[in-house]
Structure 1
Amino acid sequence: MTFVVIAHYRALPGAEDQVAGSLGRMTAPSRAEPGNLAYNVCRSPADATVFAIYEEYVDEAAFIAHTSSDHFARWLRAEVLPRLQERHRHDLVPLARDEPAGEVPAKGAAPIGR
């Protein structure tokens, strides 16, 4: 089952262009990782300090490998994170393909896709 990460960032005022540049430098090496299926960085057209990143990996181990990479240390840890006002990360797995969209299991029921 693939592993998806959606990250939402708000840059500190005045740091938005530095954050954009560093996130841009993450894209090519992240997409070149053997376990990466998608790596897309987006920026709000209404607020230049707001960014979202959609990442998809073959599994959670591939994501963990990504967080251990040289480019992650150089561009994300050293350049992006210190320049953020807010950071939210969602670790997700896809719903099973045979589940109806939007269906939520009853309280106490097995999670969807299990």
Structure 2
Amino acid sequence: MFVVVAHYYAKEGKDDEIAEILQRMIPISLAEPGCLVYYVNRSLDDRRKFLLYEQYRTRDDYEAHKASAAFQENIVGKVIPMLESRVPEFYELVEPAE
């Protein structure tokens, strides 16, 4: 299982607009064949901070997500220009021992 954790920090005054776009991306992303989990979290302490937690079957499924028209239009085209910072991290899921 391929896991992505992305930390987004919105530019001043752009946080609500980013939240709306990310909210729209949830069902779109979950409809992709390889996407298992797509959670968007917003900090209670600093409304400009977002944490995205995503799980995909494989890294190729994640790459397909990034190449999708919805990602290119909404994340690359709209969200990224409104961010002060964006830090993606990649993990593999540690499954319980059998």
TM-score normalised by length of structure 1: 0.82
Deviation sequence 1:23-80 (CA, Å, 0-9, x none): 1111111000000100000100111100000000001010000001111011100110
RMSD of aligned alpha carbons: 0.9
**More helix as a share of residues:** 2
CA distance in 2, matches of 1:95, 1:11: 31
Partner of 2:74: 75
Partner of 2:34: 35
Q: Residue 46 of structure 1 aligns to a residue in which SS?
A: coil
The Cα shift of 1:18 comes to 1.1
The Cα shift of 1:21 comes to 1.0
| Corresponding letter in the other structure for 1:57 | Y
**Comparing 87-96 with 15-24, which one deviates more in the overlay?**
87-96
Number of residues of Structure 1 aligned to a counterpart in Structure 2? 97
CA distance in 2, matches of 1:22, 1:41: 11
Provide runs of 4+ in structure 1 moved above 3 Å: none
CA distance in 2, matches of 1:24, 1:67: 17
Q: Residue 91 of structure 1 aligns to a residue in which SS?
A: strand
Deviation sequence 1:59-107 (CA, Å, 0-9, x none): 1010000001111011100110000001111111022533xxxxxxxxx
CA distance in 1, matches of 2:9, 2:66: 20
Structure number with bigger Rg:
1
Higher relative contact order (CA 8 A, sep 6+): 2
Sequence identity, in percent? 37
| Corresponding letter in the other structure for 1:84 | L
Write out aligned runs for 1:54-93 (5 A): 54-93=53-92
Partner of 1:104: none
Deviation sequence 1:3-29 (CA, Å, 0-9, x none): 000000000001111111111111111
